[in-house]
Structure 1
Amino acid sequence: MGFCKSFLTKLFAIFVVFLAIAFLPGLPPEMEFTPYTPSEPLDFTGPLAPNDKLNGAERIFEGKIQNPECLAVANGTVYTSSRGGDIVKLVGDKLVPVANIGHKCEGYWEEKKCGRTLGMTFDTKGFLYVVDAYYGIYKINVNTGKVGHLIKIDQPISGKTVKIANSVAVGKDGTVYWTASSCDTSFDDAVLTMLGDATGRLFKFDPASKTNTLLLDKVHFANGLALSQNEDFVVVAETVRTRLVRYWLKGPKQGSSEIFFDSLPGIPDNIKVNKEGIFDVTVPLQRTKTYPLLSDLIAPYPLIRRFLARVFYLMEVPFTLIQDNYPNFYSGIITHLIGSFDPLLPLFPKEVLVLQFDQNGKLLSSLRSTDDKVTLISDIILAGNYYYLGSPFNNYLGRVKIDKIKAD
């Protein structure tokens, strides 16, 4: 009887704490929480059937590069980023510095000061566009190393201030399309962004007038994007909703959007389109009907999502106060870990998954690995006879010969 009473007392105390945290008015973070129903993931059959096409990948430049999250290619040369804002290119067996868009900071745990490169692409004139989550979009002359700050995100755009700039695509006419993952929280609190309602956006930037136009609003963590071959539409990865969205730029549907592909077997990250018009979509975190994502499980329950968001905030507050007033390594690291995805890495599957779609949104095939040679990839790009694989967590680049893939 005493055990039951003690158990019920503790359960009641937990319930009271839950209600207090969930319902206490004015407690940050200031976010909205609305229920939604996640799509059911496709089975791993047909084009999604398990394969080993990315097995045997090489780890190149291991220990010489940090967090090469995004990739771009021009004239057969691969470009990527490294922690600290370094933009480098691959020349033979060397990494050659191109430019740096980093900002002065004590270490990577001060990511909001340092900056964080999330996306990059080239235009038809050979200029490289690089997206920093905290500072916006830079335009780089890769021949001279000259850097221009093309789009800043410190001022409101269409009524809201962008907190996470993510990816970029550039049309043949120089028009810049870019995504904002959130207008609520910055990237060092990206976990919170996954819990709240959709505040991601798709923009069009006119380089002549230097103005941004809002194309899509309320995208649930707008991530990678790519233009179609004819540039009549752009495809955006809606990460939290595990789907791809198409926005029409031309034609009878101009100005409207629709689902390009739903029910993805995981969260989509970057999108690349090759010369054949195939969209390559990386899926760093997979899901199945048996093993759904946590975000799927709590999607219909806004009270739980708000509770979790507030718990993360309350955990972070004391260390943030210490760091703001008495900056030091330890509180900086703890603050960084609470809000980032790093502590969740052990939960990420080791298999690599890349999905391939045609211009009509048909799933054609998938590229997978089973040998753990390369893991946790966020970007893939084709250059010469190789696929290159980038990651926000690794200290190397992956590389796989496409001859092997074709042979399979």
Structure 2
Amino acid sequence: MGILRSIGRVVVDITVLLLVLVLLPGLPPDVKFSYYETDETLPFEGPLAKNDLLNDAGRILDGKINGPESVASRDRYELFTSLHNGKILRVWGKNFDHFQTVATIGPGCDGPWQESICGRPLGLRFAPDGKLIVADAYLGLFALDVETGKKESLFDVTQEIDGAVPKIPDDLDIDEDGNIYWSDASSVVDLSDGVVEMLSDPSGRLIKFDSKTKTNSVLVKNVHFANGVQLSPDRDFVLFCETFRSRVLRHWLNGPNAGKTDVFVDRLPGKPDNLRAKKDGGYYVSLVAVDNKKVDATSILARFPLVRKLLLRLVGIPKFLFDTISKVYPNQFTENASYKIYHLQPIAEMIASNVAVVVELDAEGNIVGSLQGDNGIVRFISETDQVGDYLFFGSPYNNYLGYLRVAYTEDEEDEAPNLEVDGEGVKMSEDASEEKVDIDKRKEVDIKEEPQEIVEERKEEEDTIMDEDVKEVKGQDSEKEEILDEVEKEDETRDDDEKEEEIPDEDEKEEDLPDEKEGDDDDDDDDHDYEKIVEKGELKEQAPSEVVEHMEETVEKDISPQVPIEKEDTETPSAPVKEEL
């Protein structure tokens, strides 16, 4: 009884503690939690049918950069990407074989755990005036001159916009007048506390910055982690991703629906990050995390707001302790631990697989295809953007920039990337295929030239067949020589028998001797003529009948007819380029 009573007391104490954590107001994180439901995501079938196009991808700057979230370009042989530690990196050259840091948004820091100091640039776009506009998650929006490295803050990010301070400026797009449409992923927590935004009520926003008045106005509120932004070609609407609801929303700027917001595409099989326009129309939507159909924790927790609140407050206890220690005794260990507790990256890495997905949409929001891979060459894709002949894949977590060649220019069709950068050996991965992946046409393309290995193999086979033919011919010649030797021996034996039958008398022997010599000479001449006849192939007509019969028997026994050797067809069928489904 005493044991049961003790167990009961423990259970009651824990229950009371949990109720206090859930119900006591003001405990961090002080955010709202409501019930909501999510629809089941689309299966990988139809236009989302599984494929391995991204298995042909490669990497550049592997191990030399950290978190290339976004990509912007102004030339087919140049791109800029945003990195941890506040850096903007320029990569250029026909094979993207040079790189250089053009600017650092913040003053610098010791590591990612201090990114609130050094800044974390995310979305990048070039403005009509040639300036690179940077959305920094902590420091706000900047206009950067990439030639001089000079940067200018567009507004004070610590000031409220429509009653709330922007906490995570994320992505942006710019119209021809220089107006900037940008997303604020959360108005309650900063980027290092992204898990809080994921489990609490949505607080993200879509905002417009007026280039003339230098003011911001909120277009859409209560977005569950507002992310990638993309204007339509006609500038009549703007698209933006709602990451934690797995969908893309559309806000109308002009026309009869101006001011309204609707769903462009939903039930995506993962969490959308940035979206970018395709060269041939439509959009790329990059899924930074791909759904695990076995366990969909987000959908389960959506129905239990008190459970989400309890989880955040329980995890908040060690975070509070680490923050307190760091204030009293600053050190890297407690700062880094506090930074990771609510950060999205550890969770993404914990549940991640090697699967990567980029969804292709048409201009109306219909899913028309996808790029997928499962070999881990590229993962955590935050953005897909075409620069020249390549698609480049950004990521907030990778230490490389992914790429996939999708086109060949006429002057570079036979040119393969071979990168050497500033003596640091930055190379496109050797394990990545440089074969063009025809994404748009989705058809097989024959390779014009056979691989060198097949040519060499064919040559070896032909040499082997030739050697066998030579050996067979030599064998037949030796058999013919043996037959001729036998014929000559029989002829000599026949001549000897005839001589024995015609032995002269002793008295006449001396007189006939000169005649015998002359006869011998005649016989020698006959033998010589006979050999010539044999060599000319006229033996059958000129040789005695018994010799011919013997030769025919010998040939039938010893010589088999020569069967012509059929050479194997070593031609290799044209290798088709992978067909995109």
Common fold by TM > 0.5: yes
Shift of 1:312: 2.5
CA 1:122 to 1:308, structure 2 compared with 1: closer, same or farther past 3 Å?
same
Shift of 1:17: 2.7
Contact 2:142 2:151 in 1 (8 A): yes
- 1:62-81 superposed matches below 5 A: 62-76=62-76, 77-81=78-82
CA 1:337 to 1:127, structure 2 compared with 1: closer, same or farther past 3 Å?
same
- 1:105-254 superposed matches below 5 A: 105-254=109-258
Q: Which residue of 2 aligns with 1:324?
A: 327
The answer to whether 1:306 aligns with 2:309 is yes
Q: 2:387 and 2:156 mapped to 1: Cα distance?
A: 31
Give the secondary-structure state (helix, strand or coil) at the position aligned to 2:161.
coil
Q: 1:378 and 1:74 mapped to 2: Cα distance?
A: 20
Q: Which residue of 2 aligns with 1:19?
A: 19
AA matched with 1:107: G
1:311-354 deviations in Å (ceiling 9; x for gaps) = 22222001111112221111111111112123221211221110
Give the secondary-structure state (helix, strand or coil) at the position aligned to 2:245.
coil
- 1:40-79 superposed matches below 5 A: 40-76=40-76, 77-79=78-80
Q: What is the aligned-residue identity percentage?
A: 38
Q: Which structure would you say has the larger Rg?
A: 2
CA 1:387 to 1:328, structure 2 compared with 1: closer, same or farther past 3 Å?
same
Q: Which residue of 1 aligns with 2:340?
A: 337
Contact 2:86 2:115 in 1 (8 A): no
1:140-162 deviations in Å (ceiling 9; x for gaps) = 12222221111331010111111
Q: 1:94 and 1:390 mapped to 2: Cα distance?
A: 18
Q: 2:52 and 2:21 mapped to 1: Cα distance?
A: 47
| Match among 340, 344, 348 for residue 352 of structure 2 | 348
AA matched with 1:22: V
CA 1:317 to 1:93, structure 2 compared with 1: closer, same or farther past 3 Å?
same
1:76-131 deviations in Å (ceiling 9; x for gaps) = 22110222211111123121222221233332211211211121111233221111
AA matched with 2:375: D
Give the secondary-structure state (helix, strand or coil) at the position aligned to 1:269.
strand
Give the secondary-structure state (helix, strand or coil) at the position aligned to 2:216.
strand
Q: 2:401 and 2:108 mapped to 1: Cα distance?
A: 26
Contact 2:86 2:108 in 1 (8 A): no
Contact 1:352 1:375 in 2 (8 A): yes
Q: Which residue of 2 aligns with 1:269?
A: 273
Q: 1:206 and 1:46 mapped to 2: Cα distance?
A: 42
Contact 1:53 1:405 in 2 (8 A): no
CA 1:22 to 1:174, structure 2 compared with 1: closer, same or farther past 3 Å?
same
AA matched with 2:21: I
Give the secondary-structure state (helix, strand or coil) at the position aligned to 1:151.
coil
For these two proteins, the number of residue pairs brought into alignment is 407
1:140-195 deviations in Å (ceiling 9; x for gaps) = 12222221111331010111111111111101111100000111111111111111
Q: Which runs of 5+ in 2 are unaligned?
A: 407-435, 440-576
Tell me the TM-score normalised to structure 2 length: 0.68
More helix by share: 2
Q: 2:315 and 2:139 mapped to 1: Cα distance?
A: 24
Contact 1:227 1:234 in 2 (8 A): yes
The answer to whether 1:38 aligns with 2:38 is yes
Q: 1:405 and 1:376 mapped to 2: Cα distance?
A: 23
Give the secondary-structure state (helix, strand or coil) at the position aligned to 1:144.
coil
Q: 1:269 and 1:52 mapped to 2: Cα distance?
A: 21
Q: Which residue of 1 aligns with 2:398?
A: 394
Q: Which residue of 1 aligns with 2:291?
A: 287
Contact 1:73 1:381 in 2 (8 A): no
Q: 1:7 and 1:285 mapped to 2: Cα distance?
A: 42
Contact 2:47 2:370 in 1 (8 A): yes
CA 1:145 to 1:290, structure 2 compared with 1: closer, same or farther past 3 Å?
same
Q: Which residue of 1 aligns with 2:552?
A: none
AA matched with 1:261: V
Q: 1:8 and 1:227 mapped to 2: Cα distance?
A: 60
Give the secondary-structure state (helix, strand or coil) at the position aligned to 1:284.
strand
Contact 1:56 1:371 in 2 (8 A): no
Contact 1:272 1:279 in 2 (8 A): yes
Q: Which runs of 5+ in 1 are unaligned?
A: none
CA 1:60 to 1:256, structure 2 compared with 1: closer, same or farther past 3 Å?
same
More strand by share: 1
Q: 1:95 and 1:2 mapped to 2: Cα distance?
A: 72
CA 1:118 to 1:3, structure 2 compared with 1: closer, same or farther past 3 Å?
farther
Q: 1:172 and 1:147 mapped to 2: Cα distance?
A: 21
Q: 2:139 and 2:191 mapped to 1: Cα distance?
A: 11
1:201-237 deviations in Å (ceiling 9; x for gaps) = 0011111100111100111110111011111111110
The answer to whether 1:82 aligns with 2:83 is yes
Q: 2:383 and 2:205 mapped to 1: Cα distance?
A: 21
CA 1:338 to 1:145, structure 2 compared with 1: closer, same or farther past 3 Å?
same
Higher mean displacement: 262-271 or 111-120:
111-120
Contact 1:356 1:365 in 2 (8 A): yes
